[in-house]
Amino acid sequence: MSLKNVYVAKTLDEVLNLLNQYGCESKLIAGGTDVIIQLREKEISPKVLVDISNLSEINFIDESEDKITIGACTTFTTIAESSILKDKLKGLVQSAESVGSPQIRNAATIGGNICNASMAADIVPPLLALDAEVLIESKAGKRRILLDHFLMGKGKVDIKPEEIVTAITFNKPKNREALGFGKLGLRKALAIARISTAIYLSLDEENTCRKIRIANGAVGFRGMREKEVENIFIGKQLTEDVINMGIEKLREELNQRLAGRSSAEFKTTAIAGIFKKALLETANNCKE
Amino acid sequence: MKDINLKINGKSYRLSTNEDMRLIDVLRDELGLLGSKEGCGEGECGACTILMEGRTVNACMVMAFQTDEKEIITIEGLSNGEQLHPIQQAFIEIGAVQCGFCTPGMILSAKAILDKDTNPTREMIRQGISGNLCRCTGYAKIVDAIELAGKLLRNGGNNCEA
């Protein structure tokens, strides 16, 4: 057994000190739903485990005038039940509700989902569509980075061994803006996303798309923005024709990205339905 | 070794555990609480579901040292001596148990549902047990049993005749 020491951290300071001391010999554990599997399959073999699941300092959902900040140790159950994150941010709630099972949602955290960097991470597409930033701390100081830059690839994020993600922050939707989400799994509960999509939309009174950010999960080596598709929509009215043009572009993008994979044909077909449903729901939510 | 204080089913235990032990290992191998089952060992099947601080978690997905000072309830903590808990009584009454492997976890998920609301809809029940796999019953009788358990709890007992 490589594991020599385990700590239950009570304060963020304690965590920063431990990370500073042990660096790459240490691993943080919060909900444990990914880390414990990795430990048992010997994908990771840290000498020190630092439990951060009791850190109330980074377990919060905070709303200011124009921003929402979610502490990294906030569980999916807390996100799904939050009174701050409903209505215009329904997409975030739906994605949290779609994670695993009640047992998993009671333990697993938003910070863990991001740092584990699965290509199918449920919370990543909505956060990318929100253009969220990741707040990171170490003993040396704090930094913030766009989630889009933080995610480097499958299982890879831009974090140093002595750093910890403390929170995720994004702008609150304004009038006639909303976030939507859609997911296709093999079944309803405990399903790894085969495709997930998130759409942040801003519509004016004439149903014209002022802003749109689209992000998909499980159709690339990480959750990613679909900027080419976004360009189809910007400045145009959301008519049936424009939506179909957008879907065509999306399928083109996926076709390129998934070329050679056995799932390519299924995914490029299925994305049309998932995306259209999520887009129409988001557009309706903008108008409410 | 790591010393931890466990509060399981209202009893306190002080234990020295290996750093790499999970809660399910401590429950079964150290304390002999064999009600919680280990099925898949990766959070899919829910057979090891227990209540920690009132919420369901998979005991295979929690490291033992993380449960220091936490309030834990396992299936062994539900009955009051010979007196079965209304949920247990309802599972027997309806015939919601076949092989029984999923039953302890299923009953604790049922408890979490009914602790929130003793009159849940069938959809709420299905959602609440969506992390517990049963390969025997087809779930219908389990949902029936949880409905009956809600009724028993609302009537304040476990008399199925009433």
Terminal CA-CA length for chain A:
56
Mean pLDDT of chain B: 96
Beta carbons of B127 and B112 less than 8 angstroms apart: no
Shortest CA distance from B58: residue in chain A: A103
Which pTM was predicted?
A: 0.95
Rounded to a whole number, what is the distance in Å from the CA of A77 to chain B's nearest CA?
Answer: 10
Q: What integer pLDDT is reported at residue A221 of this predicted model?
A: 83
Interface size, chain A vs chain B, as Cβ–Cβ contacts under 8 Å: 81
CB contact under 8 Å between A189 and B131, yes or no, is: yes
Residues of chain A in contact with residue B112, where contact means CB-CB under 8 angstroms, are 102
Chain A hits for B127, CB-CB cut-off 8 Å, are 102
Q: Which residues of B86-103 are buried (b: 16+ CB within 10 A; e: fewer)?
A: bbbbbbebbebbeeebbb
A259: pLDDT confidence band, cut at 50, 70 and 90? confident
Give contacts of A 126-165 with B, CB under 8 A: none
Q: All domains of chain B, ordered by start, with CATH?
A: 2-77 (3.10.20.30), 86-155 (1.10.150.120)
Check CB contact under 8 Å for A100 and B131. Answer: yes
Closest CA to A53 of A119, A127, A129, A110: A110
Cα–Cα distance measured from residue A45 to residue A58, given in angstroms and rounded to the nearest whole number: 26
Residue A188, Cβ neighbours under 10 Å: how many?
11
Q: Half-sphere exposure of A60 toward its Cβ, with a 13 Å CA cutoff?
A: 12
Cα→Cα distances B132→A29, A36, B44, B96, B102, Å: 24, 19, 8, 14, 7
> Which of these, A104, A83, A85, lies nearest to A94 by C-alpha position?
A85
List of chain B residues whose C-beta atoms are within 8 Å of the C-beta of residue A188: 130
Chain B residues in contact with A4 by the CB 8 A cut-off are 19
pLDDT of residue B133: 97
What local confidence, expressed as pLDDT, does residue A75 receive? 98
User: What one-letter code names the amino acid at A125?
Assistant: P
Per-residue model confidence (pLDDT) at position A288: 82
Nearest CB partner across the interface for B56, out of A6, A40, A103: A103
Question: By the 8 A CB rule, do A154 and A118 touch?
Answer: yes
Q: Can you read off the two tokens belonging to residue A13?
A: 């300071």
CB neighbours (10 Å) of residue A154?
A: 12
ipTM of the complex: 0.95
Question: Across the interface, which of A33, A39, A189 has its CB nearest the CB of B130?
Answer: A189
Among A8, A10, A20, residue whose Cα is nearest residue A137: A20
Closest partner CB to A51 (pick from B18, B56, B65): B65
Amino acid at A96: A
pLDDT band at B22 (very low <50, low <70, confident <90, very high): very high
Measuring CA to CA, which residue among B23, B137, B134, B9 is closest to residue B73?
B9
Average pLDDT value over all residues in chain A: 95
Residue B161 is predicted with a pLDDT of 66
Name chain A contacts of B130, Cβ cutoff 8 Å. 101-102, 188-190
Q: Searching chain B, which residue's CA lies closest to the CA of residue A38? A: B42
- Residue B161 distance to chain A (closest CA, Å): 32
Express each pLDDT in A197-230 by its tens digit: 999 999 999 999 999 999 999 888 888 999 999 9
More confident residue, A279 or A261: A279
> What integer is the mean pLDDT of B75-81?
94
Q: What is the pLDDT of residue A187?
A: 79
Nearest chain B CA: its distance from A236 CA (Å): 40
Nearest to A107 among B41, B61, B130 (CB): B61
> Chain A contacts of B2, Cβ < 8 Å?
6
Chain B contact present for A106, CB below 8 A: yes
* A228: enclosing H helix or E strand: helix A227-233
What are the tokens at A240? Answer: 């049936």
CB A193 within 8 A of CB A217: yes
Q: How many residues are present in chain A?
A: 288
Alpha-carbon gap: B136 to the closest alpha carbon of chain A (Å): 18
**Which of A107-116, A227-236, A253-262, B124-133 is predicted with the least confidence, judged by mean pLDDT?**
A253-262
- Average pLDDT of the segment spanning A222-241: 95
Identify the contact set of chain B against chain A, taking CB-CB distances under 8 A: 2, 18-20, 22, 41-44, 46, 49, 55-58, 60-63, 65-66, 68, 109, 112, 127-128, 130-132
Structure-block tokens of residue A49: 């485990």
Q: Which residues contact A64 (CB under 8 A, 6 or more apart)?
A: none
- Judge residue B38's burial from the number of C-beta atoms within 10 Å of its C-beta, 0-12 exposed, 13-18 middle, 19 or more buried: middle
pLDDT score for A261: 86
Residue that the structure tokens 């995306």 belong to = A275
**Residues B29-38 pLDDT 10s:** 999 999 999 9
